[in-house]
Structure 1
């Protein structure tokens, strides 16, 4: 039987990617259970609002453009439903990011044992609004960074990916997590950037496997009928996209492993913890199987 993965250790580029999938393979049942129970409400609420927005957009597109209907067409695309879809989208992505981070934090705290959903929920409630506000600030900074000739955005992206893991693993605020992320990634930017880019490529590939066939079906139906996009086709695409958000767990786990890797390189806390366990009454003392 494969030993439980040890989170706090140094890793090279390949080990970060491999251990992402190893962690999921060892903990997928309790992790997906927590994801479904905690994130389910936010995902369903976001899905319902998105479907309402889709219907309004279709109705607006089917309305002939005249001076009298122009405002109706515009408000159909950018009305209150659009605003609600943005709000529930933020809530949904916050929960999808936070549940794996809380799960990992508890996994480490419990000595490489998968936590129960109730334990994850306790952490989730504590960090939710803090992470949601941080998510919003990070998004604004990334948009500004990419707007400035793209380069600042690419530079900041891997640093910002570390902010939420730092916040949850070290129980800190946004300001400290921001500066801590810059400190951790110093002299290790390329490795972190490479791992995050590769895992996002894998994530998007997994998403496209499910989304592209549905999208092609919707577009094909539109061309065959020679009409505007059908509501059923867009609804199907929206539902599949919502279900496929589960793949967003992958980059979150990779970001957490990057944090543990950089933290161990900088401070060696995991190694010191193992040294302190020598001489304890328990001969195993919860020591990992890895050798250093």
Structure 2
């Protein structure tokens, strides 16, 4: 059980800057409590995802091996395809559990005015895990085909698809209803939602690049040394266990930053929901009537 007196109201209208500011304010305020939940729900999938990512990095090194390219052996072993499948499967499980955990935490937070019952959150994640997995796979396929058909439809579809998990958790609807309602929610609000996601994406990218610096420095140093010694003949040799380890650290930071996206999606959802239906304002009016 966690109780916080500095309650942040989710159910109200916000501008772009307010959404970003309150996202990081909530993370600072509830970070310790939230990450204790995430360790229980996402710890094992997170480790499996890192292992799968490291295996994919190792397997894909053949793409740069001139001997494998000349012999046509890049995909013969199937290692790259297997590692890619394992990484995508682990990513889907981790992504679903992380979003489910964060959003159910926020649901408990808003329902109880800042008081969190950990068992309620974990039970909610377990209940919706199958639906979240299916929703994640379906929304991913929709976005993928949007980008395949043309780049712009992919961007257009990404905006409503970014809210489907919040709709599923907060409205307790089915997978198909969550997708359908996401388009209704962003109707006439697409541009401001896109702008919010775009700015948030830039911020997260900048943060993730900080953790990528060690791998970039190591790669540059090793490449420069090999070139100066005249031994730079096989780019695949750059992918050693040190590089894989540094790349795993960068990947871990990138995956952990999904927490920010999940929190922001809740603020975006409540902002759009308030603009269209004013449910938060109506709840406040009802509570005032009950108090009187």
Q: TM-score range by the shorter chain?
A: 0.7 to 0.9
The 5-angstrom pairing of residues 1-292 of structure 1 reads 3-58=6-61, 64-65=67-68, 70-71=72-73, 74-75=76-77, 77-113=79-115, 115-225=116-226, 226=232, 227=234, 228-229=237-238, 230-280=240-290
Tell me the CA shift for residue 206 of structure 1.
0.6
Tell me the CA shift for residue 72 of structure 1.
7.0
In the aligned structure 2, how far is the partner of 1:20 from the partner of 1:61? 41
Matched residue SS, 2:76: helix
**With structure 2 as the length reference, what TM-score do the two structures score?**
0.86
Runs of 4+ aligned structure 1 residues displaced above 6 Å come to none
In the aligned structure 2, how far is the partner of 1:232 from the partner of 1:74? 26
- Contact 2:75 2:81 (C-alpha < 8 Å) held by counterparts: no
Give the CA RMSD over aligned residues: 2.4
Tell me the CA shift for residue 59 of structure 1.
6.7
- Contact 1:33 1:117 (C-alpha < 8 Å) held by counterparts: no
In the aligned structure 2, how far is the partner of 1:172 from the partner of 1:99? 17
CA deviation string 1:174-199 (max 9, x = no partner): 11111211111111111111111111
Flag structure 2 segments of 5+ consecutive residues without an equivalent: 227-231
CA deviation string 1:208-243 (max 9, x = no partner): 111133233134224424351122212221233124
- Contact 1:192 1:258 (C-alpha < 8 Å) held by counterparts: yes
In the aligned structure 1, how far is the partner of 2:258 from the partner of 2:69? 42
- Contact 1:131 1:164 (C-alpha < 8 Å) held by counterparts: yes
Flag structure 1 segments of 5+ consecutive residues without an equivalent: 284-292
Which range moved further: 190-199 or 144-153? 144-153
Which range moved further: 124-133 or 219-228? 219-228
